[in-house]
Amino acid sequence: MNLAYRDIKHNLLRFVLTNFGLSLLLGIVIMMTGVYGGLIDDALRQARAANADLWVVEAGTNGPFAESSRIPGDTRELVSRVYGVQRAGSVTYQSVQTELNGAPHRLFIIGFEPGRPGGPRQLSAGRDILRDHYEMIVDRSAGLALGQEVPLGTHDHKFSVVGLMQNEVTSSGDPVAYVTLHDAQALQFELAPPASRREQARGGSVETNDQINAVIAKVSPYVPIDETAAALSRWKHLTALTQAQQETLLSKFVIEKARKQQLLIMVLLVIVSAVIIALIIYTMTMDKVRSIATLKFVGAPDRTIIGLIVQQSLSLGITGYVAGLALVFLFRPFFPRRLVFDPESVVAVFAITIVVCLAASTLGIRLALKVDPAEALSAAG
Amino acid sequence: MTEPGRQAVVRVEHLSKHFGAGSARVDALIDINMEVFPGQVVGLMGPSGSGKTTLLNCMACILEPSGGRLTLDGEAVYDEHWLKADLRRLRLDKIGFIFQYPNLLPFLDATDNVAVVLHLAGFGAAAAHTHAVELLDYLEVGHRKHAMPSQLSGGEAQRVAIARALANRPRIILADEPTAPLDSARARIVMDLLRRIAIEQSAAIIVVTHDEMILDRFDHIFRLRDGRLETATGELSLLPVGAG
Ligand SMILES: Nc1ncnc2c1ncn2[C@@H]1O[C@H](COP(=O)(O)OP(=O)(O)OP(=O)(O)O)[C@@H](O)[C@H]1O
Ligand SMILES: [Mg+2]
């Protein structure tokens, strides 16, 4: 005979309502792990999309994502000649604001050299960029259709959408768009601050305009990457980062702040859940004081009483967690950000829930153990 | 009242109990001596505040006496201090208690309110259930075995509570005004039932009551006044029962 279960069944409506509230709370905790997972995944995706072995960036910087990096446009030729480098491609990165269907949109523009490393990884629709100008491949989340025209830059050149990608967004959730390196550099020049633009237009040569953010290199499988990286870093104005270093930088610097915020919110939510569970268990125990006194009176050991409370606390936590998980997956498609769940964090939230339930039940247990069996004799009831 | 050849199931010797200290001290029980034998149903009477509940609770090991000795079913339980570490187990094994109010667990049906005690005593689920149903039948509430306590009438609930008190076949049954919530006809039925149980299970049954209507149902009546036991003739008992 399971007393915990019987008592829950007896007060089923209250249990279900309490459970619903708790599941919302736990659902938010689970969702936060999804948001965080999405954040990391988006950031890393961006770095992985380039499919690089080495990132050649401005000397002394953690570019191109964690810090800005500017290197001359001819760096790619330099890199290509280094021992071990099989292929290399220049890339630029910039955020632009544009107006789409009457609403402002941010796009993360990646300029690349078609046919060289750094281009889009996989298209879900349409084709690759074939012409040198005014074609674009964009993530579906921008809400653009194939063939649609997008005005970019101050001259409002119309870029036509030729290809679509899936799940290519930045860590801040902006859709990624690929254009040719030439178009990207022209945009960069147009959108640069007017003063420097004037400066460049007046005195600067064409080369000053020809700047890129990084060179992406593929290295021969027969040459150690570190060796090639060391060779590249011998140039005073360049630094070479391996893909692994780039990913570490991204997860460390770029999303560090967001991570801390999320962690804080999650810790707060867990504390709130703990307080709520503790209060629920406490009041559930309060309501049962007379039954507990009677049980003790007829001879129930403390083990039985503690079991009753702990089991109720755990069933509250477990069903609340499962309902919360169900809610999250039910509403996942409607969430404005991509949620990515790695099994470990889902399991971790479950483990935390269990620990919180056990901790929260101590309050109820303390109360229950203090109940005097003689209370069963009092007249009320 | 010593009955030769039979050992008392409940033996109380020089038992005292006081509450508080100094000027707030209340002597609820003073030098109580009594014995109850197997098959006996005895009454415990006295004016309000005379110490009936206090004495019953001491015998139920719910309240720690201040001094004296208590022997239950041949086992010394209290001698100036508790001699048993696990009083709840002692209650489970030896004592059935019938409360003034049924005190059923509201979340269990009638059968399980009885079975829970058997369960605590280590019976398997099926055996506990079968025995509980038998007891309810014996108490003539078998037809209400699936009812929740809130659906039972006062008399039915009290009989379920009695079934629970009997479940572990205790040698001692203590009842604090069990007939108070019942009309006199039902009160007599309950008293007859207790008598039958006392004989069939050779148990000692002690019933606290105010009810003069059921006096004839007792083998013996102990009267308390201001914490002291009166003798049968109405004088205060100053000598230990059975001394010599
Ligand atoms: N927990 C306690 N603390 C202090 N005094 C108490 C306590 N319990 C009982 N008393 C006192 O002990 C005396 C005996 O009380 P008890 O409850 O045993 O009386 P009773 O005979 O059962 O009365 P009633 O017929 O009203 O139930 C009373 O004076 C009461 O006030
Ligand atoms: Mg009383």
Domain range annotation of chain B: 10-103+171-230
Cα–Cα distance, B54 to A374 (Å, whole number)? 11
Judged by its nearest atom, the ligand closest to the C-alpha of residue B52 is 1
* A322 and A206, same domain (yes or no): no
Which of A186, A221, A253 represents a domain boundary (last residue)? A253
Q: What is the pLDDT of residue B237?
A: 42
ipTM given for this complex: 0.86
Of the residues A294, A296, A305, A378, the best mutation for testing chain B's interface (the one with the most B CB atoms within 10 Å of its CB) is A294
The tally of domains found in chain A comes to 2
Mean pLDDT of chain A: 87
Q: What is the pLDDT of residue A207?
A: 44
Cα–Cα distance, A370 to A305 (Å, whole number)? 11
| Residue B99 near chain A (CB below 8 Å) | yes
Report CB contact under 8 Å: B116, A3: yes
Cα–Cα distance, B59 to B77 (Å, whole number)? 9
Indicate which residue's Cα is closest to atom 11 of ligand 1. Answer: B28
* A244 and A361, same domain (yes or no): no
How far does the CA of residue B39 sit from the closest CA of chain A (Å)? 22
pLDDT tens-digit map of A284-311: 999 999 999 999 999 999 999 999 999 9
* A208 and A187, same domain (yes or no): yes
* A28 and A60, same domain (yes or no): no
Residue of B nearest to A376 (CA): B103
Report CB contact under 8 Å: A373, B108: no
Residues of A near B (CB-CB distance < 8 A)? 1, 3, 6-7, 9-11, 290-291, 294-301, 304, 373-374, 376-377, 379, 381
Architecture of domain B10-103+171-230: 3-Layer(aba) Sandwich (3.40)
CA of B163 to the centre of ligand 2 (A): 22
Cα separations (Å) of A154 from A107, A176, A195, A203, A224?
15, 20, 15, 22, 45
Q: Both tokens of residue A289?
A: 């004081």
- With vertex at residue A62, the alpha carbon angle to CA A221 and CA A41, rounded to the nearest 5 degrees, is 75
Q: Indicate the residue of B88, B101, B117 with minimum beta-carbon distance to A379.
A: B101
pLDDT tens-digit map of A341-356: 988 889 999 999 999 9
Residue of A nearest to B63 (CA): A374
Which of A253, A270, A286 represents a domain boundary (last residue)? A253
Q: What is the pLDDT of residue B220?
A: 92
* A84 and A117, same domain (yes or no): yes
Q: Both tokens of residue A259?
A: 């991570």
Cross-strand partners of B78: B70, B82
* A64 and A154, same domain (yes or no): yes
| Residue B1 near chain A (CB below 8 Å) | no
Specify the range with the lowest mean pLDDT, choosing from A17-26, A251-260, A342-351, B195-204: A251-260
User: Does any ligand 1 atom lie closer than 6 A to the CB of residue B196?
Assistant: no
Residue of B nearest to A297 (CA): B88
* A331 and A279, same domain (yes or no): yes
Q: Which amino acid is at A29?
A: V
Question: A174 φ, ψ to 5°?
Answer: -75, 140
> Is it the case that residue A192 has pLDDT exceeding 50?
yes
* A209 and A134, same domain (yes or no): yes
Domain that holds residue A287: 3-43+257-380
* A265 and A293, same domain (yes or no): yes
Cα–Cα distance, A176 to A109 (Å, whole number)? 6
| Residue B122 near chain A (CB below 8 Å) | no
Please give the average per-residue pLDDT across B83-88, as a whole number.
Answer: 89
> Is it the case that residue B243 has pLDDT exceeding 70?
no
* A85 and A209, same domain (yes or no): yes
**Cis preceding linkage at B47, omega within 30:** no
* A37 and A62, same domain (yes or no): no
Judged by its nearest atom, the ligand closest to the C-alpha of residue B54 is 1
| Residue B84 near chain A (CB below 8 Å) | no
pLDDT tens-digit map of B9-62: 999 999 999 999 889 999 999 999 999 999 999 999 999 999 999 999 999 999
Which of A253, A271, A293 represents a domain boundary (last residue)? A253
* A82 and A184, same domain (yes or no): yes
User: Which residues in chain B touch residue A4, judged by CB atoms under 8 angstroms apart?
Assistant: none
Q: Which amino acid is at B202?
A: S
